[in-house]
Amino acid sequence: MEFKAQSIADFLGGTVEGDVEATVSDVAKIEEARPGTLAFLSNPKYNKYLYESKATIIIVNQDLEVEGDVSATLIRVPDAYKAFASLLELVQQAKVNKIGIENPSYIDPSATVGKDVYIGAFAYIGKNVRIGNHVRIYPQVYIGDNTTIKDDTIIFAGAKIYEDTKIGEACIIHAGAVIGADGFGFAPTEDGTYMKIPQVGNVILEDFVEIGANTTIDCATMGSTIIGKGTKIDNLVQIAHNVEVGENTVMAALTGISGSTKIGKNCRFGGQAGVVGHITIGDNVNVGAMSGVAKSIKSNKTVLLAPAMDMAQAAKVTVVWRNLPQLRDQVFDLEKQVKEIKTKLAE
């Protein structure tokens, strides 16, 4: 698919500086671009590449001052980063714009399927499933009974959606994700074994949620595990039973949230963060990478380390950690001096 500079500028509401007929068929980073590609420049640290890049078209900020010869056609916009993101979204939509039902696939007679839907080969659609308009379900996806999927949602290859799951509009579920598997519920018995506690709840993904590849979200023991509107979850994240995540929260890879924890709106979790169960995390909380949260956190806090603590306290602790080898040597020296003093006093 090819795009001309003027067409791109019209879409972005920008202006062309150079050849309006310049054509691109791919995108690239400005430092790695080749002829026929589109790049962008928003960070001043990369300004030097403007004069070296082989890109055919470069999107730049409106106020950028050009200080040398530029071979590329420029498209000036108010915000180059946002403009480029809009173009990438357009390219992505073109890639996933499939329609039709491939064979072999199974759709239970009781299921309802909306308009302009794509269902890939070897997909399974269970009883009483409700699929909205413009939904795209890629090959080898399993959709359990009584699941609802609203308009414009995309479920990529190999994802597994257990029964009774509710998925909102314009969600994205990446390959290998498992939504609605049993929560980790077992009761110890007198003989030392464990009795499985049936998990009869479900999972609710609200609108505009994105779930990364191989992420798992467990169903509730009773009630619902809820992922709030606009929340973005990275690959390889574990969300346990009865967890509630507020709107527009983001979680980086390998984060783990234990059962029945409540997380507020607009929170951010760094990679490998871990959270114990049955606690509450307020709104606008930042949890640093590899932090271990063992107790509730009030809103508007930033915590680091394990066990997680306030950022100011974490900074003090980190300074001490860095000096531990020196402090160890000082303690040994003091012990040696004390022994020497005791020996002299004993004489």
- The model's pLDDT over 31-73, given as tens digits with 9 standing for 90+, comes to 999 999 999 999 999 999 999 999 999 999 999 999 999 999 9
Beta-bridge partner residues of 39: 58
- At residue 347, does pLDDT exceed 80? no
Which of 97 and 249 is assigned the larger pLDDT? Answer: 249
Is 278 annotated as catalytic?
Answer: no
pTM of the model: 0.86
- The model's pLDDT over 264-320, given as tens digits with 9 standing for 90+, comes to 999 999 999 999 999 999 999 999 999 999 999 999 999 999 999 999 999 999 999
Identify the pLDDT of residue 66. 94
Out of 134, 174, 241, 278, the active site residue is 241
**112, 129 Cβ separation under 8 angstroms:** yes
Contacts of 16 (CB under 8 A, 6+ apart): 5, 6, 9, 73, 74, 75
Contacts of 330 (CB under 8 A, 6+ apart): none
- The model's pLDDT over 68-108, given as tens digits with 9 standing for 90+, comes to 999 999 999 999 999 999 988 887 777 778 899 999 999 99
Which among 165, 132, 131, 125 is positioned nearest to 151, based on CA atoms?
Answer: 132
Identify the pLDDT of residue 91. 79
Rounded distance between C-alpha atoms, residue 227 and residue 245, angstroms: 5
| Burial class of residue 77 (count of CB atoms within 10 Å of its CB; 0-12, 13-18, 19+) | buried
Identify the pLDDT of residue 88. 87
Rounded distance between C-alpha atoms, residue 237 and residue 256, angstroms: 6
What is the average per-residue pLDDT within 1-25? 94
9 falls in which pLDDT band (50, 70, 90)? very high
Which among 253, 106, 238, 112 is positioned nearest to 184, based on CA atoms?
Answer: 238
What is the average per-residue pLDDT within 18-39? 95
Identify the pLDDT of residue 90. 81
What is the average per-residue pLDDT within 121-133? 98
Please name the residue that has the structure tokens 């928003």. 42
- The model's pLDDT over 153-178, given as tens digits with 9 standing for 90+, comes to 999 999 999 999 999 999 999 999 99
Please name the residue that has the structure tokens 């509630």. 244
What is the average per-residue pLDDT within 243-268? 98
- The model's pLDDT over 193-238, given as tens digits with 9 standing for 90+, comes to 999 999 999 999 999 999 999 999 999 999 999 999 999 999 999 9
